[in-house]
Chain A
Amino acid sequence: MWLKKSEFNEEIMATSASKYAYIVCDPNLCVGCQLCEYVCSFSKTGEYNSYRSRIRTVRVDEVLITAIACRTCENAPCVIVCPRDALTQDPQTGLIDVNAAKCDGCAWCIEACDFGAISINPHTTLAEICDHCKDDPEGPQCVKWCPKEALSLTTPDQRAQRSRRALIAESFDMPQKATDPK
């Protein structure tokens, strides 16, 4: 489903007509401290528990570490696959809403999600998905807390811009001013 440009939140989507913002982790900066999991689970449950975090750090080997949360896919597979239509996507933000009255914890959405960004809470048997802390005026708590500033709420276009700038900054060392040959 393609949306009209006018429907986007101007602040986040200023340059993008097609992609939602999501929590991006830079694996070069992530040190694997898991503080994002602590604050995420705390803001949702009042307890510190990685199993209840909607962002998860992933450590594949000794140095390959990053964190993953909902990527707010367009035409989100989790929404499409849900047999009870419990999941809906906000057309403005791309956030996935879980209707507690409809969700029965069948976990089809988990199977559909390529990013492993959904979990089922065993106590409520409801699907849990990152919501960018939309009700918190401070915004995403994981982004606020990340000590290495590895996390950001970013659109893919913004991400690409950042990569381009970083590449150029690393690749060229422009002289500050021309030297006087005298």
Chain B
Amino acid sequence: MASRLLWENIIPGCDPLDDGNPICFANGIFTGTPVPVGGKFGLASKSPLTGFVGDSLSGSWFSVALKRAGWDGVVLHNSCDSWTQLFIDDDRVQFNDATYLLGKGTFETEEAIRNKLGDDQIRSCTIGACGENLVRYANVTNDGRQAGRTGHGMIWGKKKLKAVSVRGTHGVKVFDPKTLNQLAYDISKSAQGKDTEKYRVYGTSTGLLNTNKLGVLPTRNFQEGVFEDAELVSGEYLDRHHKVKVIACAQCPIACEQMSLVKTGPFAGAMTGIEYESLFANSSNLGVSDIRAAIKLITIADHDGMDSVTMGVTIGWAMECFEKGVLKKEDFASEEHPEGLELHFGNGEAAVAVAEMIRDQVGIGKLLAQGTRIASETLDKERGTESYKWAVHTKGLESAGYDARSLKTFALGLATGTRGGCHNRSAAYDPDMKGETNRLTVDETRGRVASESEEYAAVYDTLPLCKFIRRSFTGKADRSGAWPAIAKLINATTGWNYDYDDVDLIGTRACTIKKAFNIREGWTEKDDDLPWRWKHDPFSKGPGAGTVVTDEELAYMKKLYYEAKGWTEEGLLPKELLIKLGMPDVAEEVGV
């Protein structure tokens, strides 16, 4: 829905940092009801990292407050002349001065707003110092959760929007509360069972040892897929030594966020919620085996408001530049470190210093604040180097924590993904990792598998429901297990009459509008590409040793994928298809 709002409200072709790029909020259909994990909202703008659709989801109380205030969607146009905090107080809207919030971290900002406005039920989306300083991958935070990727925080910073706060005092009503309560209660209880155990007990970080075993754990800037110290940065290690408490988003009975604290060493006191994606990017990917440094890095990202995945991958890129002599010690000099830094793989303290330079846009931080694509292009142009070969992004968004060289269906999913290198939009790592496909080879099924897993994920992302609930409806996570249950929830909430096919169509339409948006912003088939490294530079060890995704394999799989979607050979959207999907206005603009 947020992507649809973006489609309708953007000035096509505008620069992501221009006034023509709106900020679009769309609230969830189940937000404010007791439907488990339904307290989420979508946030969309044109991404300053990719130049394509920047769609993010975030959970928790902000969305509930927005719903109780009576808003299903909010679109913000243009920009402010001075730093502003927007306050939506039920149906009144105020533009407040935000000077008193400048420089404050994300959680701090939320608290300061609550204190100033005098109600602890006020919820805010905020940016931290990174957004204020225009880090290209700054993000937007609410309630300790992030609309994390694609650089929303930079757009907010450019618009001088420090926070959007909401107070909602009205009740939320549903069509058939008796049925909905029973459904919600049953799902909520079943979500305490085995199907969510890994999220509840160790959180997503428990996946780290598994990806390491499969040889797809990005290590030392995606050079290898096996990290020798994986045990020391695993979810299990985190649980034993650093976990303070598990917390939940609003209306979530699972509670996956593992709040973790550093108790000793130079980073003592750092605390934040640790997820697998943040963890890989800031531990194995940097060759860092001291998990305390990883927690510190993620704490900086979370508290000061930037994407911890892109930050980690960008620092990994810089480390490889250092190791290869492309960047020298003195390149990392700053007032605090006049001699520069030895940014070797494994040097957690130097990584922390660099993260702070990125946040503050100091010295080399200015370059690294642009993400790997722009940073490598800039450096290569200045110095005649080839650092693009180890810039691991697709469409400008740094890759998530599954090395796709030996997950070939996932590689296709990442290459074609509308958002870039994101594991949330393409769920194709799942069949690859479970062995439903042969992950080391390609065959004629991959187009269909990648397309289906993308549209499967898009159903959850559109409602939105957190995907961690997917096995708790009936014990089966596939369409036959989940869609009828979701249809029941939709019907009890709204009074509509959704069935399996209607639910399935949600995913197709969501993927289509995002694709249409990208086409209108100038997408061509060449943009569906993979990082150089994954195409040319195989692992030396582990189960995936020796494999890459060749250009031929990628071209073959892309063809299959476009076919499975019913698109043209060039990956464009046929008019008839768009009309069939009920999008005649989109057909008019981009259909062929």
A: residues with CB less than 8 A from B are 28, 31-35, 38-39, 41-42, 45-52, 61-63, 65, 145, 147-148
Residues of A within 8 A of B68 (CB): 49-51
**In the assembly, what is the distance between CA of A45 and CA of B68, in Å?**
14
Residues of A within 8 A of B440 (CB): none
Complex contact A33–B252 (CB within 8 A): yes
How many A-B contacts if CB must be within 8 Å? 85
5 contacting pairs across A/B (C-beta < 8 A)? A39-B181, A47-B173, A48-B173, A50-B64, A148-B253
Cβ of B82 within 8 Å of any chain A Cβ, yes or no, is no
Q: Which residue of B lies closest to A38 (CB)?
A: B34
- Is A46 within 8 A of B247, CB to CB? no
The count of chain B contact residues (Cβ–Cβ below 8 Å) is 37
- Tell me which of B61, B192, B248, B251 has the highest count of chain A C-beta atoms within 10 A of its own C-beta: B248
CB-CB nearest in chain B for A41: B171
B191, A147: Cβ atoms closer than 8 Å: yes
Known: A34-B250, A51-B121, A65-B247. A39 touches B34 (CB 8 A): yes
For B177, give its contact among A46, A50, A51, A61 (CB under 8 Å). A46
B396 contacts A by Cβ under 8 Å: no
Kindly list 14 other residue pairs between chains A and B, CB separation below 8 angstroms, not including A34-B64, A51-B169: A32-B247, A33-B250, A34-B251, A35-B251, A39-B34, A46-B173, A47-B170, A47-B171, A48-B34, A49-B169, A49-B170, A50-B121, A51-B121, A63-B244
Nearest residue, chain B, Cβ from A50: B121
Distance from B578 Cβ to chain A, minimum over Cβ atoms (Å): 37
Shortest distance in angstroms between B109's beta carbon and chain A's nearest beta carbon? 14
Q: Which of B177, B181, B253, B272 interacts with A33 by CB under 8 Å? A: B253
Task: Name A45's contact: one of B171, B192, B244, B253 (CB within 8 Å).
Answer: B171
B215 to chain A, nearest CB (A): 34
Could you mark each residue 296-313 of chain B with 1 if its beta carbon is under 8 Å from any beta carbon of chain A, else 0? 000000000000000000
CA distance in complex: A45, B251 (Å):
18
* Among candidates A34, A35, A49, residue contacting B172 with C-beta atoms closer than 8 Å: A49
The 4 A-B residue pairs with the shortest CB-CB distance in the complex, in nearest-first order: A47-B171, A147-B253, A49-B171, A31-B255
In the complex with contacts A48-B171, A145-B185, A38-B245 CB distance below 8 A: no
Whole-angstrom distance between the Cβ of B427 and the nearest chain A Cβ: 25
The verdict on B271 contacting chain A, using a C-beta distance below 8 Å, is: yes
C-alpha gap A42/B182 in the complex (Å): 13
Contacts of B248 in A (CB 8 A): 31-33
Q: How far is the CA of A33 from the CA of B257 in the complex (A)?
A: 12
Within 8 Å CB of B503, what residues of A? Answer: none
Given A35-B34, A42-B181, A62-B144, answer yes or no on A147-B188 (Cβ-Cβ < 8 Å).
yes
The chain A residue with its CB closest to the CB of B170 is A49
| Chain B residue contacts of A47, Cβ below 8 A | 170-173
